[in-house]
A and B are shown apart, each in its own frame.
Chain A
Amino acid sequence: MNKILFSSISKKFVMALAGLFLIVFLPVHLSINLMLLKPDPEPFNRAAHFMATFPLVKIVEVILILAILVHISWGIYLQIQNWLARPQGYVVKIKTRTSFFSRFMIWTGASVLTFLIIHFTNFYFIRLGLVEGNPENFYGVAHSLFKIPAYNYIYLVCFILLGLHLYHAFSSAFQTLGLNHRLWTPVVKVVALIYAIVIPLGFAVISITIWQFR
């Protein structure tokens, strides 16, 4: 049983599924964030409240947290095994053509994780009651955070790195699930590119707008 669950392919399968779930989650998150642009705090706060209390969303939330934890821990586990597989490296660095961003997944992933910790401290942990704050006014919290230039810079850098992570992740997940097709794989790659630009750009536009124009 262990051999099945922890074989290299199974671990990657789990990584891919968790990753795809997160890929689906991001647009949902983005669409809620768009309400931050409204001058009225009510819609956003209501959406945040709905997300925090509606039972069905609760279940999805548990899956989401699981997906994040599994994706991170499996990712680190796989990466350590990969480093161990080549104890002595080459003197001349590998020049073979590869999908460029795939080489830095652990590092782009690590920066997303750093952001996630900041993000959770600012919002999610407040809701769980682990950190002081008013969970009923996340609109105000978000707006005051986006007024801090340093927060914006960190936010932007993390989202650019997230974009690089997503670009490889998207098509890679399909390959891992065994879905590689003469016609469809090129389409997936284009969608991946669009997705990896649109999602981070969406988040960035919101933060910059609030920072500069509100």
Chain B
Amino acid sequence: MKLTLKIWRQKDARAKGSFVTYHMDNVSPEMSFLEMMDALNKKLVEEDKDPVAFDHDCREGICGSCGMYINGHPHGPVPGVTTCHLSMRYFNDGDTIWVEPWRAKPFPVIRDLIVDRSAFDKIQVAGGFISVNAGAAPEANSIPVRKKNADEAFDSAICIGCGACVAACKNASAMLFVSAKISQFALLPQGRVEAKDRVRAMVEKMDELGFGNCSNTGACEAACPKKIKLTNIARLNREYYKAY
């Protein structure tokens, strides 16, 4: 199929940036969105032009680096997939596709479609961990965990830190991400020990980095490729109140 791409190009963090139009013939519906972008870059290199810079790593939906804002949807119009899993068969011949980087003050554009998501790392470093004395592995069954809690902890632990929640939120709030990272520990006995310090530190860091305030709009949940639920944000709020 034939596509018209309008892609955000920006030399570096300080440059102004603008959309550049590219025409692609021969896009096969079997391609993933990133493969289509590879084909575009191959073409650009052959024409001796600068390829489009975009982030990617695993290409199997687990690393969270491939964020692109496609036609008004973080990770494209298909729910529950990352950009690398987005198949071109969801687009039609003749479509125009607008591709923009994540937009949020704490996620500055580094180049083209790549943004600096290290703000998320900073939140994690502030408290998204458990301090353990890594001696010999203990017997797994010595600490009983309720099945429901184990499942919910797992469901929040699958957050890949992609930032689509921030990108989708009208307030550029990071609450869904932080709530997932809080929940994965808050629901397990090992995580309870440091629960108060963790939630205080992570929320403080999140605010300090300039993310917006949650207004319970729910765009994050709808955009999240891992379907992290809004109930996590309510839990984050509870955990925060409990910590004081």
Contact = CB atoms under 8 A, between A and B. Distances in A.
Interface of A: 3-4, 7-13, 78, 81-82, 84-99, 102-103, 105, 168, 171-172, 175-180, 182
Given A91-B100, A92-B98, A96-B223, A85 B210 contact: yes
User: Ordered nearest first, which 6 A-B pairs have the shortest CB separation?
Assistant: A180-B234, A85-B212, A178-B238, A95-B72, A82-B171, A85-B172
Contacts of A99: 216-218
Interface string B217-244: 1110011000000110111111011001
A175 B219 contact: no
Interface in B30-58: none
A103 B235 contact: no
Contact of B219 (A13, A96, A105): A96
Contact of B74 (A9, A89, A96): A96
A177 B239 CA distance: 11
Given A86-B212, A172-B215, A175-B230, 11 more contacts: A13-B237, A82-B213, A85-B106, A85-B212, A86-B171, A91-B19, A92-B71, A98-B222, A102-B218, A175-B237, A180-B231
Contacts of A89: 103
9 contacts: A8-B211, A82-B212, A96-B168, A98-B219, A98-B222, A103-B217, A176-B237, A178-B237, A178-B238
Given A86-B105, A175-B230, A178-B237, A12 B214 contact: yes
B213 A78 contact: yes
Contact of A92 (B100, B230, B233): B100
B104 interface: yes
B177 interface: no
B72 A94 contact: yes
A92 B213 CA distance: 22
Contacts of A178: 234-235, 237-238, 241
A92 B101 CA distance: 11
A86 B4 CA distance: 27
Contacts of B212: 81-82, 84-86
A116 to B, nearest CB: 21
A179 B218 CA distance: 15
Given A178-B237, A178-B238, A179-B234, A8 B215 contact: no
A78 B214 CA distance: 9
Contacts of B196: none
B218 A177 contact: no
A177 B168 CA distance: 23
Contacts of A103: 170, 217
A91 to B, nearest CB: 6
A181 B222 CA distance: 19
B60 interface: no
Interface in B127-176: 168, 170-173, 175
A7 B218 contact: no
A99 B217 CA distance: 5
Given A90-B103, A91-B100, A96-B222, A12 B213 contact: yes
B39 to A, nearest CB: 22
A95 B77 CA distance: 9
A65 B173 CA distance: 30
B204 interface: yes
Nearest to A93: B72
Contacts of B218: 97-99, 102
B180 interface: no
A192 to B, nearest CB: 12
Nearest to B6: A91
B172 A102 contact: no
Contact of B222 (A13, A87, A93, A97): A97
Nearest to A174: B234
Given A82-B172, A98-B219, A175 B210 contact: no
Contacts of A98: 170, 217-219, 222
